């Protein structure tokens, strides 16, 4: 009957329309997910362009790294993973690995050897966090301050954050406990070696929050990496924490009266993961890309465009000058010995366990 | 401008239905149509065709709405109570835990630890133990690493037996020998005939007849192993060697009642089995409790077990309790510690601020809509474009613009300082607090108030105001008694729009709200994208949805939903 | 002011002008005075300025120039709500969110009249329009005629001395309109109120009013009682606007004591009564009512008659309507009463027509 046909036809059309997969992956295309902005640019120039030239594969950029974990989880649940390679911070990689959303990597088998002949696992060393993470750069969260607002005594110590008498004015800190809690304990007299032991306890967490409470009214809490540079440039804050690459471009490219403190900078890693659930063909291509993009020369090349340190030891001697500004990049790397006198390395294991708990307390404390 | 609802409630004109009812009531039998069928039936048949046709027309939309709207909401509601992961990952442990007394202050029996070993062993192969760790870590700090560590080390526990069996006889090292022992003859034959390089599917493993009675635990474990290799890893079972846990199972069988039955066994590897049975008594044994304690001393902490036990049911109210600042405890639900309470406060704040934003939208939007409705069409259209302009700008751009305006070194403060109204040392704090959120969101949501107000006001003829004035009302009385009541449906529609939009907003509060101006949606977004605690996010979302529906219901009861108009 | 009181004028327009855009006048030099208790209708085509006049009187428009006086007091600067004028609007303007009783009570409430008195007055006003049973209804639950009655009651409930009505019956069907016309005039006379009534329906104007002011082009063309207006239109606009009318154009050939001879453009000659013509050679338009035309007339010797050809014959029940070609005009209409002996003219036949000179008015061209 005509009516039934109409009903069937319309329903079928709708379902068909809904079913058309985003899986329009052509054989020579791959989607690489990253953070966008200057960081993606540096990857485009150091990795994507040479790779596309070499292999003819077309790389599609997706700037979703900030929501990578939740999106990958949703894709996996929907049974349709559209990403081939994803750039994430190490803690997210760990989480994705735990959730079974990232494929396990055997560095020596899947990654290139170092230029100096060292095996991949030796070349990356400790930076191979978890089983799925392929390190790319070392960056740090550090403090920048307005040189024109601090008077004759520019701060050299992280505890300047808590010293509102010498440095009156607002500070920008990240709206999460990680990093801030460590700094608070450090400036409350806790030994650097004992910080995580203290932070494991209720009292230690309270101690850190109490220390932060002393400057609570003077803090603007940021959640996007671009916030602090803007606040510093507008003179809204006298000092603030952010990623060292953001401060580099604020100082060197935009010529703002801002300087970096480097003291107690918190190292973190950023790198690649390959999602699970890819077809064999796509997985092979993703591995090929990663092998290419994380070799010694490529990692060193990226430092020409952004001031983040390459994750391979063998890349360090190859770091040269900034591609446009022409300045020597080595002294601007967080890993430079001059800058790295006092550093933290993001404690992945600790925060994987304590993140939920401390974050709940931190947010409740913020909302008070 | 006719009020349809009123007209239909009035007992004025009879409807076709009335006719049938009256006819029914009057005639003793049913009224018949011309062809002799009851009139009612032929009417309903005629109407059914119409209904079906209408259904066919709306089918695409209906399916679209079901797929894109109803299904996700249902999914969200389900997630807020769903808790499969514990029972699924620890299928052997959780039933045994049910008998354990959580208040005993001691960890459960060694048997439970053994079940845990088996569960974690299989979970680790499936990479499920870390998922479970992540889930339980929401409830108890440290679970994440406890399970990750344990998953890595359970292999060692099984290897104790594996090594001893292999030392006893190299026979036990070979996967083929195991396959011959455990698999049926037909299956072994099929495997031998199967070409791994071909397109044919690998023959699925089948247990040998009688082996299940002989070696029950080994059979179960080996089947699970074989199934995993064939379906998940998709490897060739003939080329694989069994997991360590199979040896543990064999040890358990051989030390149990099975040993006696071996005497009558004459199948493959009968000799090796009997030899092993004779030797197992001298084997070094594994103390599972001690082994787990070795991995992490937390395994002897009754609290860890309590947590597992509390969250083993397939459905939980834990997320909902968490969403109202409570938690599960062995003694039932209790409030969370003071320093972790946040959600009730945020719900309340979201409600109050959404109402404030709605109120300020009414205050600002009403005069604008009034002017628009009373201007000549040309001028009104021009002004309307100005009202709509914010719609055409990205939300982020608008919000960021407010940042530039409101910050302490921003345009507004600069102007106030320049005018001498504010001292440069104590500039107003207009952003990163509730003020910032209210200002920015009022601006962003204002069009949603103005548009319905405008379209309702447009339908109020100016003659009403004239009539009121001619009847002796002052301008104010005429407005308040005659114009305003007629514009209330517009206020209602605008308020519902603005309020419901406001209550779910999170981008703007995130950017300009600081810590005191954020909404519950910001926490929902956090749990979706950062902490990955989707269950809690779903519970929070469900409560928010319920609150909106409740308010909607209250609005309907108090004001009446037919008193809401988006236009004439 | 003393002057006007002497005249006994209750409502008075004194050289009133109105312009909306500063370029054209919508109302040009309006002078009008009406005594208390009069029922005056402003009649005219749309855009003639009648509604503007009403709005100026009500206070919703201000006069650009001139004075409007009510009971001798200039009301130019008095806001509408203090004028105490009742008004019935075209679309009734009953407040939809109030019941009938609340609508009626509204003008009393704003006048701070006590509750008991309010109730009494509302009841009285409702019974005046036979709508007592509808006090609790909403306006949308009433029919058009019922709404009109309520609107009327509302305009009267606070006992104004002057009531303005702006085409109040325009949206009703013919029969209802006639009933209501009758009711309104009766009420007005019973209550002794002064009414200014605006309409574009001439029948309404003629049947209801004491006097009718015919508006055109921002001026009153003629202000007269209905019978005079019909019988003796002062210019060709009024003649054409009021009732059905035949017109013929020509030039005055002779003019003498109360009678003139007009030579039509077709060359034929007729007799007429000079109204707007004063000298020989002037162009004129003569008007004759269809019912005053005689077919094959028995007139005096000197009377002029015209040849006519029957084009159409229409049977209308009480009258016959015959369309003729006369002096080159083919929409000349004659109405004859349906009497037993009345001849029915066949289309195509030729007849003579004529009329009494006093029935044929020579007006401005």
B145 vs A contacts (CB less than 8 Å): 349, 352-353
Q: Compute chain A's Rg from CA coordinates.
A: 23
- Res. B153: pLDDT tops 50: yes
* Domain contains B318: no
Same domain, B118 and B255: yes
Same domain, A116 and A148: no
CATH number of the domain at B544, please: 1.10.3720.10
With CA atoms as reference, report the closest residue to B289 among B107, B92, B94.
B107
Same domain, B71 and B99: no
Same domain, B211 and B253: yes
Same domain, B55 and B125: no
Contact B137 A353 (CB under 8 A): yes
* Domain contains B372: yes
CB proximity C170 to B under 8 Å: no
CA distance linking residue A232 with residue A220, whole number of Å:
11
Same domain, A178 and A252: yes
Asked if A308 and A302 count as a contact pair (C-beta separation under 8 A), the reply is yes
B127 to chain A: nearest residue by CA?
A100
Number of compact structural domains in chain A: 2
The whole domain housing A192 covers: 141-267+350-367
Q: Per-residue DSSP letters for C265-296?
A: TTS-EEEEEESS--STT-EEEEEE-GGG-EES
Residue given tokens 């209904």 in the structure block? B51
Same domain, A127 and A148: no
Contact B464 C138 (CB under 8 A): no
Contact A70 B529 (CB under 8 A): yes
B130 vs A contacts (CB less than 8 Å): 97-100
Contacts of A among chains (3+ CB pairs under 8 A): B
Q: How far off is chain B from C125, nearest CA to CA, in Å?
A: 15
Both tokens of B476, joined, read 């104010």
Asked if C107 and C158 count as a contact pair (C-beta separation under 8 A), the reply is yes
With CA atoms as reference, report the closest residue to B194 among B209, B181, B210, B205.
B205
Contacts 24+ apart (CB under 8 A), A227-233: A227/A172, A228/A144, A228/A172, A229/A144, A230/B403, A231/A170, A231/A172, A232/A144, A232/A145, A232/A146, A232/A172, A232/A256, A232/A258, A233/A258
The domains of chain C are located at 2-236, 247-364
Asked if B465 and B479 count as a contact pair (C-beta separation under 8 A), the reply is yes
Contact B407 A221 (CB under 8 A): no
pLDDT computed for residue C158 by the predictor: 92
Residue given tokens 């029935």 in the structure block? C359
Same domain, A274 and A206: no
* Domain contains A224: yes
DSSP state of C210: S
Confidence of residue B12 (pLDDT cuts 50, 70, 90): very low
* Domain contains A14: no
CB proximity C144 to B under 8 Å: no
Confidence of residue B377 (pLDDT cuts 50, 70, 90): confident
Same domain, B227 and B373: no
Select C247-364's CATH number: 3.30.390.30, 2.40.50.140, 3.40.50.300, 3.30.450.20: 2.40.50.140
Write the CB contacts of C141 (distance below 8 Å, at least 6 apart in sequence).
B6, B7, B10, B12
Last residue of a domain, one of B289, B310, B331: B310
Asked if C299 and C354 count as a contact pair (C-beta separation under 8 A), the reply is yes
pLDDT computed for residue A106 by the predictor: 93
Number of compact structural domains in chain B: 3
CA-CA-CA-CA torsion sign (A140, A143, A146, A147)? negative
* Domain contains B337: no
Same domain, A259 and A273: no
Looking at every residue in chain B, the average pLDDT score rounds to: 87
CB proximity B71 to A under 8 Å: no
CA distance linking residue A238 with residue A233, whole number of Å:
10
Tell me how long chain B is. 568
Contact A98 B49 (CB under 8 A): no
A/B touch flag: 3 or more CB pairs below 8 Å: yes
Same domain, B505 and B530: yes
In this prediction, residues A82-92 reach a mean pLDDT of 94
* Domain contains A322: yes
Both tokens of B250, joined, read 């064999």
Asked if A259 and A145 count as a contact pair (C-beta separation under 8 A), the reply is yes
In this prediction, residues A329-339 reach a mean pLDDT of 89
Indicate the residue of A7, A67, A354 with minimum beta-carbon distance to B529: A67
B2 to chain C: nearest residue by CA?
C140
Alpha helices by DSSP H, B311-410: 318-323, 343-374, 377-388, 395-406
Both tokens of B81, joined, read 């109570």
B521 vs A contacts (CB less than 8 Å): none
Q: How far off is chain A from B476, nearest CA to CA, in Å?
A: 44
Indicate the residue of B7, B471, B486 with minimum beta-carbon distance to C106: B471
Contact B466 C79 (CB under 8 A): no
Contacts of C among chains (3+ CB pairs under 8 A): B
Contact A220 B63 (CB under 8 A): no
Last residue of a domain, one of B310, B334, B357: B310
DSSP state of C81: G
Query: CB neighbours (10 Å) of residue C140?
Result: 16
pLDDT computed for residue B368 by the predictor: 94
The whole domain housing B398 covers: 343-563
B481 to chain C: nearest residue by CA?
C106
* Domain contains B242: yes
Same domain, B133 and B274: yes
CATH class of the domain at C2-236: alpha beta
- Res. A272: pLDDT tops 50: yes
* Domain contains A341: no
Q: How far off is chain B from C90, nearest CA to CA, in Å?
A: 9
Most B-contacting residue of A6, A10, A234 (CB-CB within 10 A), to test interface: A10
ipTM of the complex: 0.87
Strand A134-146 to strand A309-310: parallel, antiparallel, or no bridges (unpaired)?
antiparallel
Indicate the residue of C82, C84, C93 with minimum beta-carbon distance to B467: C93
A363 vs B contacts (CB less than 8 Å): 342, 523, 526
* Domain contains A343: no
In this prediction, residues B23-37 reach a mean pLDDT of 64
Model pLDDT for residues C6-50, shown as the tens digit of each residue: 457 899 999 999 998 888 899 998 999 999 999 999 999 988 889
Q: How far off is chain B from A4, nearest CA to CA, in Å?
A: 8
Same domain, B362 and B276: no
Same domain, B26 and B107: no
CB proximity B55 to A under 8 Å: yes
Confidence of residue B198 (pLDDT cuts 50, 70, 90): confident
Most C-contacting residue of B471, B492, B560 (CB-CB within 10 A), to test interface: B471
Both tokens of A197, joined, read 């032991």
Both tokens of C25, joined, read 């006048």
Model pLDDT for residues C262-316, shown as the tens digit of each residue: 888 888 888 888 888 888 888 999 889 888 888 887 766 667 788 888 998 888 8
CATH number of the domain at A360, please: 3.40.190.10
* Domain contains A6: no
Same domain, B63 and B100: no
Same domain, B236 and B200: yes
- Res. A12: pLDDT tops 70: no
Same domain, B372 and B433: yes
Three-state DSSP state, C219: strand
Contact A15 B63 (CB under 8 A): yes
* Domain contains B86: no
Same domain, A242 and A357: yes
């Amino acid at each position: 009957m005509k009516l039934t046909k109409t009903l069937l036809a319309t329903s079928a059309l709708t379902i068909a329309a809904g079913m058309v997969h985003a899986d329009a992956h052509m054989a020579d295309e791959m989607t690489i997910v990253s953070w966008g902005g200057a960081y993606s640019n540096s990857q485009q120039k150091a990795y994507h362009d040479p790779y596309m030239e070499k292999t003819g594969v077309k790389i599609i950029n997706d700037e979703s790294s900030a929501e990578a974990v939740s999106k990958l989880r949703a894709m996996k649940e929907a049974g349709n993973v559209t990403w081939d390679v994803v750039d994430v911070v190490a803690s997210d990689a760990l989480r994705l690995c735990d959730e079974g959303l990232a494929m396990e990597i055997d560095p020596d088998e899947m990654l290139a050897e170092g230029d100096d002949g060292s095996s991949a696992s030796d070349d990356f060393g400790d930076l191979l966090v978890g089983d799925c993470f392929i390190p790319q750069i070392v960056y740090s969260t550090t403090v920048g301050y307005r040189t024109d607002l601090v008077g004759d005594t520019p701060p050299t110590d992280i505890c300047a954050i808590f010293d509102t008498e010498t440095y009156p004015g607002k500070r920008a800190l990240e709206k999460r406990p990680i990093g801030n809690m460590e700094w608070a304990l450090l400036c409350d007299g806790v030994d650097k070696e004992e910080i995580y032991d203290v932070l494991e306890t209720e009292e230690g967490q309270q101690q850190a929050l109490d220390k932060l409470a002393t400057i609570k009214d003077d803090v603007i809490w940021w959640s996007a990496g671009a916030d602090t540079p803007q606040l510093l440039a507008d003179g809204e804050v006298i000092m603030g924490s952010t990623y060292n690459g953001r401060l580099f471009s604020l100082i060197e490219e935009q010529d703002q009266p801002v300087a970096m403190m480097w003291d107690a900078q918190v190292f973190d890693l950023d790198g690649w993961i390959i999602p699970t659930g890819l077809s064999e063909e796509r997985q092979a291509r993703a591995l090929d890309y990663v092998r290419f993009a994380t070799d010694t020369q490529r990692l060193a090349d990226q430092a020409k465009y952004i001031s983040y340190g390459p994750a391979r030891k063998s890349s360090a001697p190859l770091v040269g000058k900034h591609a446009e500004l022409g300045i020597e990049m080595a002294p601007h790397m967080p890993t430079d010995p001059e800058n790295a006198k006092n550093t933290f390395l993001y404690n992945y294991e600790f925060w994987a366990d304590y993140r939920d708990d401390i974050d709940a307390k931190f947010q409740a404390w913020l909302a008070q | 401008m006719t009020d349809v609802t009123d007209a239909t409630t009035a007992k004025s004109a009879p409807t076709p239905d009335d006719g049938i009812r009256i006819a029914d009531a009057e005639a003793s039998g049913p009224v018949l149509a011309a062809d002799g069928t009851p009139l009612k039936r032929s009417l309903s048949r005629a109407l059914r065709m119409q209904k079906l046709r209408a259904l066919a027309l709306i089918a695409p939309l209906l399916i679209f709405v079901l797929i894109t709207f109803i299904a996700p909401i249902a999914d969200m509601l389900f997630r807020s109570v769903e808790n499969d992961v514990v029972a699924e990952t620890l299928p052997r442990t959780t039933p045994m835990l049910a008998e354990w007394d959580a208040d005993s202050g001691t960890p459960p029996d060694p048997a439970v630890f053994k079940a845990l070993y088996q569960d974690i062993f299989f979970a680790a192969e499936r990479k499920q133990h870390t998922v479970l760790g992540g889930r339980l870590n929401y409830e108890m700090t440290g679970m994440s690493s406890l399970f990750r560590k344990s998953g890595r080390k359970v292999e060692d526990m099984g290897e104790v037996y594996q090594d001893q069996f292999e030392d006893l006889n190299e026979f036990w090292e070979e996967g083929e020998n195991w396959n011959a022992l455990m698999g049926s003859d037909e299956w072994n034959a099929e495997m031998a005939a199967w070409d791994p390089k071909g397109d044919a599917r690998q023959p699925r493993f089948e247990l040998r007849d009688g082996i299940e009675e002989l070696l029950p635990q080994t059979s179960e474990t080996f089947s699970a192993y074989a199934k995993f290799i064939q379906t998940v890893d998709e490897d060739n079972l003939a080329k694989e060697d069994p997991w360590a846990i199979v040896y543990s199972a064999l040890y358990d069988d051989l030390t149990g009642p099975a040993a006696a039955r071996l005497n009558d066994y004459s199948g493959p590897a009968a000799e090796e089995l009997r030899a092993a049975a004779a030797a197992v008594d001298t084997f070094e044994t594994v103390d599972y409790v001690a082994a787990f304690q070795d991995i992490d001393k937390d395994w002897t902490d009754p609290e860890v077990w309590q947590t597992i036990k509390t969250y083993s049911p397939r459905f939980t109210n834990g997320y909902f309790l968490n969403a109202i600042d409570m938690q599960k405890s062995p003694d039932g639900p209790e409030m969370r510690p003071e320093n972790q309470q946040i959600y009730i406060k945020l719900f309340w704040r979201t409600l109050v601020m959404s109402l404030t934003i709605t109120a300020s939208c009414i205050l600002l939007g009403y005069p604008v809509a009034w002017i628009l409705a009373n201007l000549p069409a040309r001028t009104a259209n021009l002004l309307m474009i100005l009202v709509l302009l914010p719609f055409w700008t990205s939300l982020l751009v608008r919000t960021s613009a407010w940042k530039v305006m409101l910050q302490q070194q921003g345009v507004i403060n600069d102007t106030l300082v320049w005018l001498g109204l504010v001292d440069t040392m104590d500039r107003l704090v207009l952003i990163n607090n509730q003020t910032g959120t209210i200002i920015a969101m009022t601006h962003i949501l204002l069009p949603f108030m103005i548009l319905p107000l405008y379209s309702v006001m447009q339908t109020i003829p100016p003659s009403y105001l004239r009539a009121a004035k001619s009847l002796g009302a002052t301008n104010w009385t005429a407005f308040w008694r005659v114009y305003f009541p007629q514009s209330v449906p517009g206020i209602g529609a605008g308020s519902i729009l603005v309020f419901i939009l406001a209550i779910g907003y999170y981008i703007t509060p995130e950017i300009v709200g600081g810590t005191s101006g954020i909404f519950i949606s910001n926490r929902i977004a956090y749990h979706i994208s950062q902490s990955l605690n989707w269950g809690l996010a779903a519970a929070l979302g469900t409560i928010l949805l319920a609150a909106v529906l409740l308010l909607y219901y209250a609005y309907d009861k108090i004001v009446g939903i037919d008193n809401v108009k988006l236009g004439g | 002011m003393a002057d006007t009181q002497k005249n006994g004028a209750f409502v008075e327009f004194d050289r009133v002008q109105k312009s909306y855009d500063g370029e054209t006048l919508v109302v040009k030099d309006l002078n009008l005075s009406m005594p208390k208790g009069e029922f005056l209708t402003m009649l005219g085509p749309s855009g003639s300025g009648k509604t503007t006049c009403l709005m100026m009187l009500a206070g919703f428009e201000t006069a650009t120039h001139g004075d409007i006086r009510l009971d001798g007091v200039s009301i130019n600067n008095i806001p509408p709500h203090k004028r105490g004028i009742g008004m019935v609007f075209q679309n009734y303007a009953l407040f939809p969110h109030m019941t009938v009783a609340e609508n009626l009570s509204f003008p009393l409430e704003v006048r701070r009249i006590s509750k008991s008195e309010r109730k009494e007055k509302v009841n009285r006003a409702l019974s005046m329009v036979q709508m007592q049973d509808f006090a609790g209804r909403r306006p949308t639950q009433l029919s058009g005629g019922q709404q009109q009655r309520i609107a009327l009651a509302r305009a009267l409930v606070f006992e104004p001395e002057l009531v303005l009505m702006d085409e109040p019956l325009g949206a009703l069907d013919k029969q209802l309109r006639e009933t209501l016309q009758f009711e309104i005039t009766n009420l007005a006379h019973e209550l002794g109120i002064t009414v200014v009534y605006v309409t574009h329906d001439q029948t309404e104007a003629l049947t209801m009013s004491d006097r009718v002011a015919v508006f055109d082009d921002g001026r009153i063309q003629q202000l007269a009682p209905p019978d005079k207006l019909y019988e003796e239109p002062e210019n060709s606009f009024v003649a054409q606007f009021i009732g059905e009318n035949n017109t013929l154009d020509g030039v005055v050939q002779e003019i003498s004591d109360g009678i003139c001879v007009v030579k039509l453009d077709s060359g034929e000659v007729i007799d007429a009564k000079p109204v707007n013509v004063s000298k020989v050679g002037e162009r004129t338009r003569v008007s004759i009512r269809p019912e005053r035309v005689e077919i094959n007339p028995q007139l005096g010797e000197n009377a002029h008659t015209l040849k006519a050809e029957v084009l159409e014959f229409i049977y209308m029940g009480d009258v016959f309507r015959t369309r003729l070609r006369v002096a080159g005009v083919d929409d000349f209409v004659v109405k004859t009463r349906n009497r037993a002996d009345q001849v029915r003219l066949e289309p195509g036949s030729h007849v003579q027509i004529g009329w009494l000179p006093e029935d044929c008015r020579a007006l401005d061209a």
